[in-house]
Chains A and B, each alone.
Chain A
């Protein structure tokens, strides 16, 4: 942007009185005003260089536009902004809206309504969620709940290709956002509660054809493991994906892929986490169950596995590792490190060397009692034997965190290279856990647990916090009356944004946590805020309201859409329905 244009914009802004002086001062000509991939960038930082909104002016943030999506399922995920168009994917039935940001009221350019099987609603374990789309090569690419990936022309809304990736009849659904690297569209399937044989696929960007399929467990060949190129940091040997599963339990072992992916172009590695092993009764699957509840690093071109690290060997607690793997260059113990940072459901925050998978730092970020620590010499948790579960062990009480996780994998963190801090929602819940022998039956759940929740220690149920991943320590924390389920956004204005389960959308000072603004957005927030520069040059912040995900199940009294399904409030969130109910709304805020 030239100097003259900046001057014109500044004078226009001053004349309009829209408070854009800070915008003009904070923008650089290279600032990236779009949001074209789910986590903003390949490193999954959810950090924007836009700096118009600052700790000094954020108190004047206010809504400038809203849109009802017409859909009631949990609105996880986030919009995309590409140029002057905003794209919104709804939960099932997975409508794609394209809004014209150049015109008053942002009317639609088009909407795309794919045919999606309603049967998927009974196969998706945890509400009809969708975690968003990816823009690449002029296409908006996303997954349909019934196990298809679609590519839609970003300009016209015309369907370019549609590929079946998952088998609904076998318990697979698709809720994650794809990742596109070069000519590969990387996708996976949910179904850890249905005993799927978990996998990742690479599709061809131009045609949607499946280029490769890589299992997350099973024989080396099916995992795309080669002895000469697979170097896990702590294990060695052939066929770890079958040797670590007694009774051939890997065949129905789960290890789904439904979270977030990241990519390091220098190392040419994609990173993603796998979900829980199935069933919940760990005694049915003796061994570590590799590579469930793990982070895997693969080559995007052919899917070959380069390293893998398991956060929770022989998972006893449904501690999926599908949360984001954020890539950041940190200084750990005086050493410059290409790090991967992950907040796990198991309550530990991990800082790994992303070239090798070795654990550098692992500290609890929320109350944890299933393990005492993580042994950095072998990467394994030091277990608390009193909290191990199994069908022969009866009801194990007071396990922290609950199976909702210290943070939900649906709630991705953000990282600011300015503050060198990570920002994340947390849950402070514990659980009892009584499992029984489960029988695998194709197409129905493979779970077998009774696991009521209770409030964690400290008298709060969730929080939003800042975390120093080099040290493994909390910097500040805003406690919330309910579990916190939104993703995080941080900007070069040193402002963080997050929503709450009871429906507040908040901005806070990234350095202190001081809340700068809050607004009640009509439904609980389980989505992830984004920011972008509009066609008018101003900085905007967008977020979905739309309570759901696990909260449509746990707090069934927040639902009002079915007179044939009335539920009592559930402990310990028996007040949540007082503050919110379902309903999908897109919100846009500005100064």
Chain B
């Protein structure tokens, strides 16, 4: 993908975000699964965090987002280029192997590794330094990055580092 193509697509993502109700953008682009009562409200769809411990046995109401490009290798390749074009490597390192920001290719996730959790980390940002890219990238751009990140395969035996001599 050339730089010109990236810029063109970025503009279309912004249009996607520019729809008046964010919930609407997410509904049209992200295929959320929400309860009818939530869908009827004007609030953005709640996301159920799969990696959270639930107090008591009752999880809060929430939907999940599904990556429309899950497993699509062509989208993942586009995401790799977008990763550099958006300067993600400036914090997360070449190929996402970690720099001032965490390694994104180790199969471990500070804020959860489910589709919706990774989406939210990029779209809304996270504490301790992750900027919110949703406004610049839009929903489709963020899913493209999620598709790339989830295509990264952790090296085998990642937890153990040993020295023999």
In the complex, B78 has a CB within 8 A of chain A = no
CB pair B91–A122 under 8 Å, yes or no, is yes
Stretch at the interface among A231-239, A410-418, A567-575: A567-575
- Once the chains bind, are A577 and B161 in contact (CB under 8 Å)? yes
Interface contact tally, CB-CB below 8 A: 91
**What mask results when residues 102 to 115 of chain B are scored 1 for a CB within 8 Å of chain A, else 0?**
11001011100000
Set B91, B159, B163: member contacting A566, Cβ < 8 A: B159
Would B108 and A444 count as touching, CB distance under 8 A? no
Q: Does B56 contact A (CB under 8 A)?
A: no
| CB <8 Å contact, A553 and B86 | no
- Measured between beta carbons, the chain A residues less than 8 angstroms from B163 are 575, 578
Evaluate contact between B129 and A567: CB separation under 8 angstroms: no
Q: How far is the CB of B109 from chain A (nearest CB, A)?
A: 6
Q: Which residues of B contact A124 (CB under 8 A)?
A: 100
Q: Which residues of B contact A119 (CB under 8 A)?
A: 127-129
Kindly state the separation between the CA atoms of A177 and B24 in the bound complex, as whole angstroms: 49
Does B21 lie at the interface of the complex (its beta carbon under 8 Å from any beta carbon of A)?
no
Contact A118 B129, beta carbon cutoff 8 Å: yes
Once bound together, how far apart are the Cα atoms of A447 and B92, in whole Å? 12
The secondary structure that dominates the A interface is loop
Contact assessment for A450 and B87 in the assembled complex, using a CB-CB cutoff below 8 Å: no
Closest 9 CB pairs of A and B: A122-B129, A445-B90, A565-B102, A121-B129, A564-B110, A564-B108, A447-B90, A445-B87, A121-B128
List the interface of chain A (C-beta within 8 A of B).
Answer: 118-127, 193, 436-439, 441, 443-448, 450, 552-553, 556-557, 562-569, 575, 577-578
Additional 15 contacts, C-beta under 8 A, given A441-B87, A567-B98, A578-B163? A121-B100, A121-B129, A125-B100, A438-B87, A441-B86, A444-B86, A444-B87, A444-B131, A447-B87, A553-B93, A564-B106, A564-B108, A564-B109, A566-B108, A568-B158
- Interface residues of chain B, those whose CB is within 8 Å of chain A, are 3, 84-87, 89-91, 93-94, 97-103, 106, 108-110, 127-131, 136, 155, 158-159, 161, 163
27 contacts between A and B (CB under 8 A): A118-B128, A120-B129, A121-B129, A122-B91, A122-B101, A126-B100, A439-B3, A441-B86, A444-B131, A445-B87, A446-B90, A448-B84, A448-B87, A450-B94, A553-B93, A556-B99, A562-B110, A563-B108, A565-B98, A565-B103, A566-B103, A566-B106, A566-B159, A567-B98, A567-B103, A568-B97, A575-B163
